[in-house]
Amino acid sequence: MRDRKVAGRYAEALLRTAKPAGTLVACAESYAGVLEVMAASRELVIFLDSPQVREQEKKEVLKKVFGPHLEPVLLDFFNLLLDRNRIELLRDIGTVFAELVEADQGLVRVGVVTAIALPADLETKLRDKLAHVTGKSVILDKKVDPAVIGGVRVTLGDRVIDGTVRTNLDRLRKTLATAQVRG
């Protein structure tokens, strides 16, 4: 992320504008859609980032491409980013905004890495336990990585709980490597 602090300020401003207007969830969904389009269209990103293209042209293209699908508050926000030469932060702001909306809605995103896909019953138990610990509804970002061999790694914010076999084997190897051999 280029500048999380600046992106955070803009994301908070959008949250403060969209929430009283009753368009918070719609703005979050629309913003996610814009980011998906941008991820698929390198040309659009280059166009928006180009200093050779006037801001007014960029505004017209944004309105033409996204206007009918966006909440007016969000289109105004994108125009503000153009006016302040901050359009290059669009993706970063979108990431922070999505986090803020989830927090506002009482949701927390938790990363889970396992060697194989979790069976539905274990996934439900894990989600329920994490919801109990956090006091929030949990969204699991699941990833399968055979390199962990077994166990689970849970990432919640900046906390990581690593109960994988791979990590335990690495710790054991380090312990054995530094152990003194008595003869």
Cα–Cα distance measured from residue 115 to residue 129, given in angstroms and rounded to the nearest whole number: 20
pLDDT tens profile 17-71: 999 999 999 999 999 999 999 999 999 999 999 999 999 999 999 999 998 889 9
The torsion angle over the Cα atoms of residues 159, 27, 79 and 63, rounded to 10 degrees, is 130
Local structure of 42: helix, strand or coil: helix
Alpha helix (H) ranges present in the chain? 4-18, 24-40, 42-49, 55-66, 72-83, 90-104, 120-134, 165-178
Going along the chain from its start, the domains and CATH numbers come out as: 4-103 (1.10.520), 107-178 (3.40.30)
Local structure of 152: helix, strand or coil: strand
Predicted local distance difference test score (pLDDT) of residue 183: 56
| Beta-strand relationship, 152-156 and 107-114 | antiparallel
Please state the pTM of the whole predicted model.
0.76
pLDDT tens profile 111-167: 999 999 999 999 999 999 999 999 999 999 999 999 999 999 999 988 999 999 999
